[in-house]
Amino acid sequence: MSREPNYEFQEWWNKQREKNHDFFTNDSNNANKGFLTVEIRSLNPDLTTEKDRSRSARQLSWICLLRFQQLANSLAWITNSFLLLLRTANRRISAADSPCDSSASRLYRIIKFFLVLVVLLLCVELVAYFKGWHFSPPSAASAEAAVELFYALWLEIRADYLAPPLQSLANVCIVLFLIQSMDRVLLMLGCLWIKIRRIKPTASMEYPMGRVETGNVDDYPMVLVQIPMCNEKEVYQQSIAAVCIMDWPKERMLVQVLDDSDELDAQNLIQAEVQKWHQKGVHILYRHRLIRSGYKAGNLKSAMSCDYIKNYEFVAIFDADFQPAPDFLKKTIPHFKGNDDLALVQARWAFVNKDENLLTRLQNINLSFHFEVEQQVNGVFINFFGFNGTAGVWRIKALEDCGGWLERTTVEDMDIAVRAHLCGWKFVYLNDVKCYCELPESYEAYKKQQYRWHSGPMQLFRLCFLDILHSKVNKAKKANLIFLFFLLRKLILPFYSFTLFCIILPLTIFLPEAELPAWVVCYVPGIMSVLNILPAPRSFPFIVPYLLFENTMSVTKFNAMISGLFRLGNSYEWIVTKKLGRSSEADLVAFENESDSSVTETTSFLRSSSDSGLEELSKLEVTSRRSVKTKRNRLYRMELTLAFILLSAAGRSLLSAQGMHFYFLLFQGISFLVVGLDLIGEQVS
């Protein structure tokens, strides 16, 4: 129990405290108590006061000077930052637009007109806000001033004529959004079922790991390995070395280096590298075309026309930046045994530079979902998926049966996969077989790559639509190709993401009679982002930047989709994705260690690979310096224009206190601004 308070003690203590206070403050009481009090008087009593006052004034002056210095430093920092921003902007304005920008001139003009319209609407709403018309809207009958009459008529026009069609378009996009979200959910459920049931393709036989003995090679089929490349001096050594040290009998494998380079120094270096490996006993050939027609498809088609191709049963294709593990063929070729209707075995991509910057981290999220979920689910349940163009092994008979490589699109890999599927061939995807490669680290390279990846499928859909309808496959496969493979995942996805979040959402802010629910703006996209990021769980801290960046990329994908569908701009031009050679030679040694093969032999190969071409490189050093283009960051006008549109809409939503919409528009506008200033990827000083 708590003790009761002692009120008598408190009263006594208060009295003693009052006495002591009077004792120290009253001089007369001090004298009566017998204490000696010494009083020191100044000759000039005002001197101390003036001194204190002068000291306070001096301190105040120092404080004022300090504040002034801080203000001057702040102004100088703001001025320097502004000048630095201007210099950076001036440096990042490139003289020539990239093909994906030049083909967007029509779309860019439409977006500029949309920006002017949004700014005018924002000015009108600001005037109405300061007039108080947001709280009591005027009517045309009671309007007194001309401005008030104009605003009243504007309210009637937007409610009767503008809002209904906008709401209808928003409803259509919402339905498409929900359909595409359901497709993602079904894919994730399929992937979960595969994980729970531990479903994976199994081969009828296995090759022993380790170096193959010379006398026991009859069980190994003849394999052709192709490495198409074009002016890729940064990565040619790594890819050629990785292929040449693969664990496969040398007499049962032929390597074709298909060089489409138009730079003389690149040709000489690649040819010298091929000659070096040929001297080591590897069956390797160098092929160079004088006329680069058909781009990669034309290069592969030309290589497959050689007479000796009839001696080979399978062909493995690797792009110039890919480094297969030494046991790649031993893990993929066995799946063809006993499966005469199997045309393709596709391996998974892995990335050596996925943590290089924010751009590569966001790409890793997208591609991890593509391989872990889309490719794996389609491969297990329907035995069909889009060929990724590299890190795959084809049965040569299947290539010949479906017509071979065609030069009609920029996605020759998807083209030949669709034609092989229509001919009845099956595909197998191996999620546990990885092939390391490099992600583009600059936004310019990534934008060009995405433009080609999203314009090509629309070209192909336009060309093969009738072939799908008239093919002999069943109706389920036809429906899957048309509605899921092409329309939903290649056309509807970029259409609704750009239209809904970059056009309709800002318009609904200025036309509040048309409403876009908060669950469409925030909740469903958030859930979809969580599902997309599950295959790459280490990337969960980047879920918000991923959501914003995907909406930012929608303008590039939408423009590419429209260009490919209607043959606009430079949709048929192929631009090689720039590589930086991030894959190190240590990666090849690690691959060799994982396969338990001879490390000594591999190390000697790699050391000799490092010395390859040094003499040629020194001879061509002057030529290389003259031919190398200066790298620099750029400004992207379309992204900047959309940034100003979204930020203007965010300002309008702030006036009407729409919290969810305001934050989404604000952060999405900042995302467009960051991308438009080219601040997301590699920075060139």
DSSP symbols for 22-81:
HHHH-HHHHHHTT--------SSHHHHHHHHHHHHHHHHHHHHHHHHHHHHHHHHHHHHH
Task: Please tell me which residue, 62 or 76, carries the higher pLDDT value.
Answer: 76
What pLDDT, on the 0 to 100 scale, is given for residue 147? Answer: 84
d(CA 33, CA 24): 11
List the one residue out of 215, 104, 227, 206 whose CA is nearest residue 498.
104
Q: What is the pLDDT of residues 172-184, one digit of tens each?
A: 999 999 999 999 9
| pLDDT beyond 60 at 30 | no
What pLDDT, on the 0 to 100 scale, is given for residue 571? Answer: 64
d(CA 658, CA 120): 20
pTM of the complete model:
0.80
Confidence of residue 100 (pLDDT cuts 50, 70, 90): low
| pLDDT beyond 50 at 42 | no
Q: Which of 20-34, 366-380, 471-485, 606-620 has the lowest mean pLDDT?
A: 606-620
Q: What is the pLDDT of residues 365-383, one digit of tens each?
A: 999 999 999 999 999 999 9
Q: Which of 11-20, 106-115, 528-537 has the lowest mean pLDDT?
A: 11-20
Q: Which of 529-533, 599-603, 656-660 has the lowest mean pLDDT?
A: 599-603
Q: What is the pLDDT of residues 293-304, one digit of tens each?
A: 888 999 999 999
Which residue shows structure tokens 């102004």? 75
d(CA 371, CA 319): 17
| pLDDT beyond 90 at 561 | yes
| pLDDT beyond 70 at 339 | yes
User: What is the arithmetic mean of pLDDT over 623-632?
Assistant: 50
Count Cβ neighbours within 10 Å for each residue of 556-592 and write b for 16 or more, e otherwise.
bbbbbbbbbbeebbbbbbbbbbbbbebbebebbeebb
161: helix, strand or coil: helix
What pLDDT, on the 0 to 100 scale, is given for residue 77? Answer: 87
Domain spans of the chain, in order of start: 138-199+353-382+441-588+634-684
For residue 680, with 0-12 CB atoms within 10 Å meaning exposed, 13-18 middle and 19 or more buried, which class applies? Answer: buried
d(CA 638, CA 447): 13
Q: Where are the beta strands (DSSP E) in 204-341?
A: 223-229, 253-259, 284-288, 314-317
| pLDDT beyond 50 at 620 | no
What pLDDT, on the 0 to 100 scale, is given for residue 421? Answer: 97
Query: How many Cα atoms within 13 Å fall on the side-chain side of residue 225?
Result: 32
Give the mean pLDDT of the chain.
Answer: 84
Residue % of the chain over a pLDDT of 70: 79
What pLDDT, on the 0 to 100 scale, is given for residue 606? Answer: 39
What pLDDT, on the 0 to 100 scale, is given for residue 32? Answer: 45
| pLDDT beyond 50 at 546 | yes
CB 501 within 8 A of CB 644: no
CB 321 within 8 A of CB 437: yes
In angstroms, how far is CA 668 from the centroid of its own chain? 15
Which residues belong to the active site? 260, 413
Confidence of residue 55 (pLDDT cuts 50, 70, 90): low
